[in-house]
């Protein structure tokens, strides 16, 4: 229902147009945020910048909050106006990596394939690592 057809003003070609995706909230992890609310993302950025800019609200977890981002020439900085909330969460990308902070846990990724393929194994992993972690 959302697909509309339009004519290209340059070629006359018939094109399909769809509305953009606008998530209610984006949640990403980055290296640093400064005390003004700007966020530094380095490494393989993927679509983190785009999802934050597209979302109505955004939550960014970071390795640390600093006075100065220390952004390099090729760094991606999300401006404070695009970020709704920041939470300091060291190791928040683990078992993935955060460039300049820690490496990817490749052993976990190899184990995860087997965990994720079996529903009972996955449910047991959730119980041990998410729902009951730290309880007791």
Question: Which residues lie closer than 8 Å to 77 by C-beta, 6 or more apart?
Answer: 38, 39, 40, 41, 69, 71
Beta strand spans in the chain (E): 4-7, 14-17, 25-34, 39-41, 57-66, 76-78, 85-88
> In the chain, how long is the greatest CA-to-CA distance?
67
pLDDT of residue 134: 59
DSSP secondary structure code for residue 121 in this structure: H
pLDDT of residue 135: 59
Q: How many CB atoms lie within 10 A of CB 109?
A: 11
pLDDT of residue 91: 93
β pairing state of 76-78 and 39-41: antiparallel
Distance CA 63, CA 35 (A): 13
pLDDT tens string for the chain (136 positions)?
Answer: 899 999 999 999 999 999 988 999 999 999 999 999 999 999 888 999 999 999 999 999 999 999 999 998 888 999 999 999 999 999 999 999 999 999 999 999 999 999 999 999 999 999 998 898 655 5
pLDDT of residue 114: 92
pLDDT of residue 73: 84
DSSP secondary structure code for residue 131 in this structure: I
């Amino acid at each position: 229902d959302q697909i509309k057809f339009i004519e290209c003003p340059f070629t006359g070609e018939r094109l399909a147009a769809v509305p953009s995706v606008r998530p209610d909230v984006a949640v990403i992890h980055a290296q640093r945020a400064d005390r003004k609310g700007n966020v530094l993302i380095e490494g393989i950025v993927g679509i983190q910048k785009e999802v934050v800019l597209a979302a109505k609200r955004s939550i960014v977890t970071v390795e640390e909050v600093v006075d100065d981002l220390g952004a390099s020439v090729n760094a991606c900085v999300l401006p404070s106006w695009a970020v709704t909330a920041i939470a300091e969460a060291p190791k928040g990308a683990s078992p993935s990596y955060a460039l300049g902070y820690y490496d990817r846990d490749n052993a976990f990724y190899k184990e995860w394939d087997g965990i994720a393929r079996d529903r009972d194994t996955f449910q047991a992993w959730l119980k041990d690592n998410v729902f009951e972690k730290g309880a007791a």
